[in-house]
Amino acid sequence: MTPLENKLRKIIKADGPISVSHLMRIAANDTDYGYYQSRDPFGTFGDFITSPEITQAFGEIIGLWCLTAWQNAGCPDKTILIELGPGRGTLMLDILRTVKKLLPNFMESIELHLVESSTMLRQQQRLTLKNYNVTWHDFINTIPEGPSLIIANEFFDALPIDQYLMTKNGWHKRLITLDPKRNKFSFITVPVPKKKVAKFRSEISKAETNSIFERNRLAEKYAESLAERIFYSGIAALLIDYGYVKPGFGDTLQAVKSHKYYDPLTDIGNADLTAHVDFANLESIFKETGVAVHGPVLQRNFLTTLGIEHRTMTLVKNATAEQALLLIKGCQRLIAPNGMGSLFKVMAVTPTDTSTPEGF
């Protein structure tokens, strides 16, 4: 058993079975052994790789997008630039370098705020962004008001979901318990009143037997806060993640370690636990708040419209042969029609009186 699994065993022994969201929260953020608290998971030698770690062109294109969104909003004097879950800080570094070079006026308007739960990754971000003034937050609500640009790449997939299973006898919630004989964790289900589940979404009534419905309460909280901020103060938010566009059912809980998929209940704390993002739900929350929603579009379409291939070829001109190959391969990977290019979706939120942002 991993040290975290021992801790979980004690929790379950004392308090009974735990929900999937409780498991995800502990697995990611336990102060001693949580996945994000105890390691830097990114890169070829880590567990997974994200777009900004694949090629600098990704962050540069997002920087360009921020710049056009700022112009669309009438170039406000002050811009609260927010990143949710900044990982190593690479994306923000690439955004800031681009903005500084292309539009110094915009750079001068920026006040930088990062939302990050991992102490270890905060330290990494501090190093990466050592030339900038940064304020960290545990949640988006503590960030000062003002025209805001909010960026989130692979943030919403890391937020904890709960799972509900439709059985022949009605809705059940999935919990995790410890099988004392085998000393292994396993899923069990307990009945939940239909009335409670029906409140989550209207589509719930269409569920067939064995359907799994996933609810992400924290993602909903973030979506509300983010939309209110854009509604009252502008400028825009950009969310990039893997997920589904239409409301649906299915088990999307996944564990990734060393670039491979694992059973979510083995080696807990040593694998990254995530779930697909429910873009339809985010969209309905945004619309309820009264902001305009753009997309989701495929990452491939978004990045190519904003010129990632052109930018890559410009970078290649000043690169060594080895760097050039990495840049080209990186760009191809991000826009691959059968890979990241279509798995990842991009959604933007703006006030309703702003013109459609670039790439949508």
Site string for ligand SAH, 37-66 (x = CB under 6 A): -----x-------x-xx-------------
Tell me the closest approach of the beta carbon of residue 52 to ligand SAH, in angstroms: 5
Contact criterion met (CB below 8 Å) for 215 and 162: yes
User: Cα(133)–Cα(131) distance, rounded to whole angstroms?
Assistant: 7
- Out of 118, 128, 350, 354, the only residue in the binding site for ligand SAH (CB under 6 A) is 118
Among 14, 6, 12, residue whose Cα is nearest residue 269: 6
Contact criterion met (CB below 8 Å) for 264 and 257: no
Contact criterion met (CB below 8 Å) for 122 and 136: yes
- Out of 12, 115, 140, 166, the only residue in the binding site for ligand SAH (CB under 6 A) is 115
Stretch touching ligand SAH by CB under 6 A, among 113-121, 171-179, 227-235, 242-250: 113-121
Give the binding-site size for ligand SAH (rule: CB under 6 A). 20
Contact criterion met (CB below 8 Å) for 93 and 128: yes
Name which of 60 and 72 has its Cβ closer to ligand SAH.
60
Eight-class DSSP state of 356:
P
How is 112-149 classified by DSSP, letter by letter? EEEE---HHHHHHHHHHTTTS-EEEESSGGGSPPSSEE
Name which of 292 and 340 has its Cβ closer to ligand SAH.
340
Stretch touching ligand SAH by CB under 6 A, among 112-120, 199-207, 256-264, 343-351: 112-120
237 burial (CB, 10 Å; 0-12 / 13-18 / 19+) is buried
Residue 331: other Cβ atoms inside 10 A: 25
Q: How far apart are the first and last CA of the chain?
A: 47
Name which of 124 and 350 has its Cβ closer to ligand SAH.
124
- Out of 153, 270, 299, 312, the only residue in the binding site for ligand SAH (CB under 6 A) is 153
- Out of 38, 72, 79, 117, the only residue in the binding site for ligand SAH (CB under 6 A) is 117
Site for ligand SAH in 168-227 (CB under 6 A): none
Tell me the closest approach of the beta carbon of residue 209 to ligand SAH, in angstroms: 33
The answer to whether 116 contacts ligand SAH (rule: CB under 6 A) is: yes
Q: Which residues bind ligand SAH (CB under 6 A)?
A: 28, 36, 42, 50, 52-53, 85-87, 91, 115-118, 121, 153-155, 158-159
